[in-house]
Structure 1
Amino acid sequence: MVWSGAQDWFDARNYEFARQVLQRGTAALYLVAFLSTMNQFPALLGEHGLLPVPSFLDMARRLARPTLFQWRYSDALLRAVCWVGIAVSALLVLGLPQLGPPWLPMLAFLTLWFLYMSIVNVGQTFYGFGWEILLLEAGFTVAFLGSDQVPPPTTILILIAWLVFRLEFGAGMIKIRGGREWRDLTAMFYHHETQPMPGPLSRQAHLLPRPLHKVEVVGNHFAQLVVPFFLFAPQPLASIAAGIIIVTQLWLVGSGNFAWLNWMAIVLAFAAVSDPVAHAVLPVIPLEWHTGAETPVWWLVVVLAVTVLLLVLSYRPLLNLFSRQQLMNASFNRWRLVNAYGAFGTVTKQRIEIVVEGTMAEEPDAADEHWLEYGFKGKPGDVRRLPRQWAPYHLRLDWLMWFLPLRTVHEGWFYAFLEKLLEADRPTLGLLRHDPFDGERPRWVRARSYLYRFASRAEFRGTGERWVRVLLYDAIPPVSLTPRRRRLL
C-alpha cells in the first residue's frame, strides 16, 4: 500500500546522490571505527588492559547507558562484535542491503549503531571523544534514509543538515566564547604546531605567513557561524553552503589528524547537495537516478515517528547552542542521540610532550645515554621523523598522551601503561611504533616533559630536524617493578 500524496513533500527525488554518499560514507567510517577498536581495545581496555572493562563493570554495577557487555565482557566477545560490525559495514559500503526493502539497510545501520554504542559505553576515557557520539548519531539517523526501492525522505535529510548545523555552529560558538585568540584572530599562530596529532603537512601550514593565519581564522568563523544557516536555504544556496563546509573540512584533513571527525562532517554535508548541483559540478554524476516509485505508508509512518523523536530530543541541544554555559561534546540521553558538539574553544600556545624512556641499567641514575626512548605511532617523539597521516584511523593512546600535560601525568591508565612497559607486555608494545628493547623487560622506566616546537626552514636545512625540543623536567621519576626499589603506584 502506498500513499501518492507523500510524493510532493516527503520524497526528495533530487537527492539520490546525497543518499548514496551518506549511506556508503557513514558505513565506511563505521568500518574504520570497528577496525580501530579491534586493533586497540584489548590492549587498552580488555581483560588485561590498562583500564580493564571487567573491573569497570564491577565498580559501575549497573551502567546507565546500554551495552552488550552489561553482564559479561571478554576479549573474544569484543572481537566478535568488531567482526560483525566490519562485515555489516562492508556490505553497506558495497550497497548490497540498499538493494532490498527500506527496512533492510535500516536494520543494518541500527545494528552498527547499537554495537558501537556498546563499545563506547564501556570505553571510558579512551572513548571520550566527540567523534564517537557523532558517529553514533549519524549512524542512527542515516538508518532511516531508506533503500533504492523508495525515494530519500526529506525529513531525514533535514535532520542530517541539523546535525551538521550543530556540529559546525556549536564549534563556532565554543570558539567565540572561548579563548581570546579566536577573537583577535591569532589562534592559527599556534594551532598547527600544538594540535593533538600533527600530520605531514602541519609544519608547512604552521610556517605560512601570519597574515594568512588570520585569514584562516576569519574563514573558520565564516564557515562555522554563517554558512551553516544556509544549509536550510533553497537550492543552489544549500549546496554551496555544503561545498564551503566540505572544502574547509578538507583543509583540516590535510593539516592534521582528527580521527574521522572531519570525514564525518564531509559525508554529512552532502545531505544538502542536490542531484542537479552535483551533476553540474561533476557531470559523471547522473542527473536522474532510478528511484522507487512511491513511498509505502508503513515506511512513511516509521520515518515520521523517528523524525518526531529526534525533534523532541533536539530541545536541549538547541538551548545549549545559545547558552553561556555551552556544553561541548555532550549527550543529553542514554542513547547518544541529538548531541552537542564543539572543539578547541581555546588553543594551547606551547606544545608539551611526555616522552617515555627505559633503561637496562641496574641503577636509575645511570648516564642519560643508557636511557632509550619508546616510539609512538602518531604523537611527536623523534625530532627527525615526519608526522604521518593517520585519520580517519584513530590512535587512542597517542591522543591521550597529548592530554597528559594539560591535565596531570598522574592518571591511573598512564601508570598502568608504564607497568605494562616494565613487563614488556606484547599487546601494549603492539600499540607503539618502536620498542627500543626488542621485547625484553627494561629495569626502569621514566616519563620526561619536553617543550616541542616546529623547526624553522633554516633550522631544518641545517640539522634535518623537523622539531626542536627542550627538556623541562622529569614528569615521573624512574620507577621499577623490583620489590626492593620504588614500586609503581
Structure 2
Amino acid sequence: MEWFTASGYWLSRLLLTRALAAIYLVGFVSAALQFRALIGERGMLPVPQYVAYVPPRRAPSVFQFHYSDRFFAAWAWTGALLSAAMVAGAADAVPLGAAMAMWAALWVLYLSIVNVGQTWYSFGWESLLLEAGFLAVFLGNARTDPPVLTLWLMRWLLFRVEFGAGLIKLRGDPCWRDLTCLYYHHETQPMPGPLSWFFHRLPKPLHRVETAANHVAQLVVPIGLFAPQPVAGVAATVIICTQLWLVASGNFSWLNWLTIVLALSAVDGAALAELLGLPRHAPAGAAPLWFEVLVLAAGALVVTLSWWPVRNLLSARQRMNMSFNAFHLVNTYGAFGSINRSRYEVVVEGTSDERLTEDTVWKEYGFRGKPGDPRRLPRQFAPYHLRLDWLMWFAGISPGYAREWFGPFVERLLTGDPATLRLLRHNPFPTTPPTHVRARLYLYRFTTWRELRETGCWWHRTLVREYLPPARLARP
C-alpha cells in the first residue's frame, strides 16, 4: 500500500536508528560498569532482595527468575555488543524479520535491567529509551520504506516529551511564569557541565529570553510536528537546536540526545539528502503484509495506552516522568516543575584516626561529576549517566531522598569496597579503608568573575551543618 510507507524518509530513519542504537549502547555500558556497587549481590540495593518481594507482574525482568553478578554482566554486555552491531548497520544487512527481532531483543534486554534498577533507574529517560526502542521495532530496515504510522508515533512521543515538560513548568514554580527560573537553574541543576558557569553569568535579561524561548519551544513548536512539510521539519529543527543548547549548558544523561533522535522522525529525509548533496535514493519497495499488520497493531496499542498520559497532561495535578504500565510503554514526561534557588552538596569525608579529636584530619572523597573541590571545573559526561552522582544531588536536597542507600554507601566506604570506589574520581584511602566516615552539608554557589580571577575557584562553598555524624563499622 503506497499510503503505508514514506520513501522520502529513508535518510531520517537511517540517522534515527543508528543514533538510537548508540544511545542503547551508552545505556548498556553504563549498566555494566556500575551495577555491582549499586544493585549487585553485594550492592547498596541488591537485586535479589528486591525481587524477593516485588512480583514479576509488577517488574517483569529475566532477573526475577535468576540473578548473579556474572549473569547480569553477561546480560548487559550482550546488550552493548548488539547495540554496537546495530550502530554499524547490522539491522539493515539482515531480513526485515531479523531486524525487528534485533530491536525487540534490545528492548527486552534493557527492560529487564530497568525493572530491577530501583531508585538508580528511576529517571524519565530510562522510560523514554524503552518507549522509543519499542517503536523502533516497527520502523523497518533497508528492505522496506519507513512506515508512515511509526514515524507519526515517534512524533507523538516527541510531542509528549516537549509539551509535558512545558505544561509542568507553567503549572509549577512561579519563576517559570515570571521568566526568572534561569537566574538559578544553571547553578542549581543536578550536574553542571563545563559551560554552566558561563551560562549562569549571562546577563539577567538574556536569562529571561532563554526562559521565554523555552516556553515557545515546548508549548508552541511541538504542535508543528503534526503539520505538513516543511512546517514539521522546521519544528523539528527548532527542537534540535534547543536541545543542543541544553546539551551545552548541563549534563542530563541521554535525555537531550534522545529527544534530538526523536525529532529526526519529522525531518524530511529527501530534502536533507538534497541539502547534503547525497545521490537520489530509490524506493525500497512495498512492505510485506505481515509487517503492515504488526505496525497497525502497534499503532492501536499506542493509541489505547495514550489515554493515561493524555489524561495526565490535562490534569491540574499533572505528574511528570511516570510510567502507567510495567513495560514502560506510552509514558508521561516532564522536568524541573520546580527550581532550587540554592545548591546544597553533601561532602563525604573519612579519617584513619582511631580516636576522634579536634585535631583529627578529615580527607574528602571526590566524585566524578557532582561538584566537590571548588577549584575543579565541572566536566561533561552526558550522555553517559553517573547514577551515584545524580542521587547525591537529591541527597543534598533532603536526606529523605537518600534514606535507603546512603547508609549502605557509607558502609562500603568503611570496608573499602572496590566496586563502590570505582564509581568515585578520588579515593583518599588507597591502601587501607578509613576508620570513620562522616558527611557534611555545604551551600555551593558559582563564584563571580572577580573571585574566579583571584582564587581560581569555580565554586564558593559554606558549611551549613552536619549531614551524617562520624560513623564506623560495628566492632565484633
Aligned-partner residue type, residue 419 of structure 1: E
Aligned-partner residue type, residue 217 of structure 1: T
Query: After TM superposition, what 4+ stretches of structure 1 lie above 4 angstroms from structure 2?
Result: none
Identify the match of residue 47 of structure 2 among 53, 60, 64. Answer: 53
Q: Does the 8 Å CA contact 1:98/1:104 hold for their aligned counterparts?
A: no
Equivalenced residues, count: 475
Aligned-partner residue type, residue 378 of structure 1: G
Deviation (angstroms), 1:279? 3.3
SS at match of 1:145: coil
Name 2:118's counterpart in structure 1.
124
Residues 65-144 of structure 1 aligned to structure 2 (within 5 Å) = 65-144=59-138
Deviation (angstroms), 1:365? 3.3
Alignment partners' CA distance in 1, 2:264 and 2:431: 47
Aligned-partner residue type, residue 449 of structure 1: L
Deviation (angstroms), 1:285? 4.2
Q: Does the 8 Å CA contact 2:114/2:126 hold for their aligned counterparts?
A: yes
User: Residue 235 and residue 62 in structure 1: after superposition, are their counterparts in 2 closer, same or farther (change >3 A)?
Assistant: closer
- Percent of aligned positions that are identical: 53
Alignment partners' CA distance in 2, 1:276 and 1:11: 14
Does 2:10 match 1:19? no
SS at match of 2:63: coil
Unaligned residue ranges in structure 1 (runs of 5+): 1-5, 485-489
Identify the match of residue 314 of structure 1 among 306, 315, 320. Answer: 306
Q: Does the 8 Å CA contact 1:97/1:105 hold for their aligned counterparts?
A: yes
Identify the match of residue 276 of structure 2 among 271, 280, 283. Answer: 283
Aligned-partner residue type, residue 475 of structure 2: P
Q: Does the 8 Å CA contact 2:11/2:273 hold for their aligned counterparts?
A: no
Does 2:189 match 1:212? no
Alignment partners' CA distance in 2, 1:405 and 1:45: 22
Residues 399-410 of structure 1 aligned to structure 2 (within 5 Å) = 399-408=390-399
Does 2:154 match 1:157? no
Deviation (angstroms), 1:61? 4.8
Does 2:423 match 1:431? yes
Q: Does the 8 Å CA contact 1:149/1:291 hold for their aligned counterparts?
A: no
User: Residue 89 and residue 414 in structure 1: after superposition, are their counterparts in 2 closer, same or farther (change >3 A)?
Assistant: same
Identify the match of residue 182 of structure 2 among 176, 188, 191. Answer: 188
SS at match of 1:181: helix
Alignment partners' CA distance in 2, 1:310 and 1:343: 23
SS at match of 1:69: helix
Q: Does the 8 Å CA contact 2:352/2:434 hold for their aligned counterparts?
A: yes
Aligned-partner residue type, residue 117 of structure 2: G
Deviation (angstroms), 1:482? 4.2
Moved more, 358-367 or 264-273: 358-367
Q: Does the 8 Å CA contact 1:200/1:386 hold for their aligned counterparts?
A: yes
Alignment partners' CA distance in 2, 1:110 and 1:151: 19
Alignment partners' CA distance in 1, 2:398 and 2:57: 26
Name 2:22's counterpart in structure 1.
28
Name 1:361's counterpart in structure 2.
353
Identify the match of residue 372 of structure 2 among 381, 390, 399. Answer: 381
Identify the match of residue 421 of structure 1 among 389, 409, 413. Answer: 413
TM-score, normalized by length of structure 1?
Answer: 0.95
Identify the match of residue 300 of structure 1 among 272, 292, 295. Answer: 292
**For 1:326-361, what per-residue CA distance to the aligned partner results, in whole angstroms no more than 9, with x for missing partners?**
121111122110100000001100000000000011
Alignment partners' CA distance in 2, 1:102 and 1:366: 70
Moved more, 298-307 or 44-53: 298-307
Aligned-partner residue type, residue 255 of structure 1: S
Q: Does the 8 Å CA contact 1:92/1:105 hold for their aligned counterparts?
A: no
Moved more, 432-441 or 182-191: 432-441
User: Residue 247 and residue 285 in structure 1: after superposition, are their counterparts in 2 closer, same or farther (change >3 A)?
Assistant: farther
Name 1:457's counterpart in structure 2.
449
RMSD of aligned Cα (Å): 1.3
Alignment partners' CA distance in 2, 1:63 and 1:43: 26
Q: Does the 8 Å CA contact 2:367/2:426 hold for their aligned counterparts?
A: yes
Alignment partners' CA distance in 1, 2:82 and 2:76: 10
Deviation (angstroms), 1:308? 1.0
Deviation (angstroms), 1:186? 0.4
Name 2:320's counterpart in structure 1.
328
Identify the match of residue 441 of structure 1 among 433, 438, 446. Answer: 433
Name 1:342's counterpart in structure 2.
334
**For 1:100-141, what per-residue CA distance to the aligned partner results, in whole angstroms no more than 9, with x for missing partners?**
222222111111111111000000000000000000000000
Aligned-partner residue type, residue 475 of structure 1: Y
Aligned-partner residue type, residue 194 of structure 1: T
SS at match of 1:144: coil
Q: Does the 8 Å CA contact 2:159/2:222 hold for their aligned counterparts?
A: yes
Q: Does the 8 Å CA contact 1:426/1:439 hold for their aligned counterparts?
A: no
TM-score, normalized by length of structure 2?
Answer: 0.98
Q: Does the 8 Å CA contact 2:364/2:428 hold for their aligned counterparts?
A: yes
Alignment partners' CA distance in 1, 2:202 and 2:213: 15
Deviation (angstroms), 1:99? 2.4
Aligned-partner residue type, residue 50 of structure 1: M
Aligned-partner residue type, residue 318 of structure 2: Q
Alignment partners' CA distance in 2, 1:441 and 1:307: 55
Alignment partners' CA distance in 2, 1:474 and 1:259: 30
Identify the match of residue 145 of structure 1 among 129, 139, 142. Answer: 139
Q: Does the 8 Å CA contact 1:449/1:472 hold for their aligned counterparts?
A: yes
Identify the match of residue 395 of structure 1 among 368, 386, 390. Answer: 386
Alignment partners' CA distance in 2, 1:289 and 1:35: 35
Unaligned residue ranges in structure 2 (runs of 5+): none
Name 1:487's counterpart in structure 2.
none
